[in-house]
Homo-oligomer: A and B are copies of this chain.
Amino acid sequence: MKYYKSLQDLIENFQMYPGIGPKTAERLAFFTIQKCSKEAVESFSKSLIEAIEKTKNCKICGCFTDQDVCEVCQDEKRDNTILVVSDTKDIIMFEKTAQYYGKYHSLNGLISPLNGVGPDDINLASLFERVKSENIDEVIVATSANIDGEMTALYIKNILEKEGVKVSRIGYGLPAGGDIEYADEVTLIKALEGRKTM
């Protein structure tokens, strides 16, 4: 059975997403042509383009934003702490807990010697600059609980403890080997509360 081209194209395009295999892609494509209104599909199509065209990375923290500087970095009432993540979308996961009132910083990666990623390949230099220029009291390292995450946390601690800055690491609640992306909000709140000075 060959589908006609426009249906086949749609099925293949759906499969670029993780977790969407051939069968799910088929179901989504059929839903699109069978159950969705033309307006809904046009709105979806447009929002894909708009999202990718308007999304930038905040010049200061690296978070996704549609402005030059994100809303968190623009907010002058934020605490003088920086929560450091490896993956930009983890910022949004923590922001959704509504229990953290400080700033963020995305490393956009982790130190990983096995993969040839050194400290200069991720956004560490800008973190250390911010710690000085923004008078930061505490840096909370929220990397995942794996080897690269531990190593990156240790590297940050070694640099910043010389400067007299408190470095802590989220701990309680994040399951070993787990990924921040899949944690629920309560677990993330516990992880923030249970952080330990390194």
Query: Which positions in A face B, CB cutoff 8 Å?
Result: 1-7, 9-10, 12-14, 16-19, 24, 27-34, 36, 38, 40-55, 64-67, 71, 88-89, 92, 95-96, 98, 181
Contact = CB atoms under 8 A, between A and B. Distances in A.
Given A14-B44, A45-B45, 18 more contacts: A1-B95, A4-B65, A6-B50, A7-B66, A9-B50, A9-B51, A10-B47, A12-B47, A13-B43, A16-B44, A17-B31, A19-B24, A19-B27, A34-B64, A38-B52, A41-B51, A44-B48, A45-B49
Given A13-B43, A16-B40, A17-B28, A1 B92 contact: yes
A54 B38 CA distance: 12
A13 B181 contact: no
Choose among A30, A34, A47 the residue with the greatest number of B CB atoms under 10 Å from its CB: A47
A95 B1 CA distance: 6
Query: How many copies of this chain does one complex carry?
Result: 2
Chain A interface helix/strand/loop/mixed: helix
Nearest to A14: B44
Contacts of A30: 89, 92
B13 A47 contact: yes
Given A5-B66, A6-B55, A7-B55, A41 B48 contact: yes
Contact of A48 (B16, B45, B65): B45
Contacts of A5: 66
Contacts of A66: 4-7
A34 B88 contact: yes
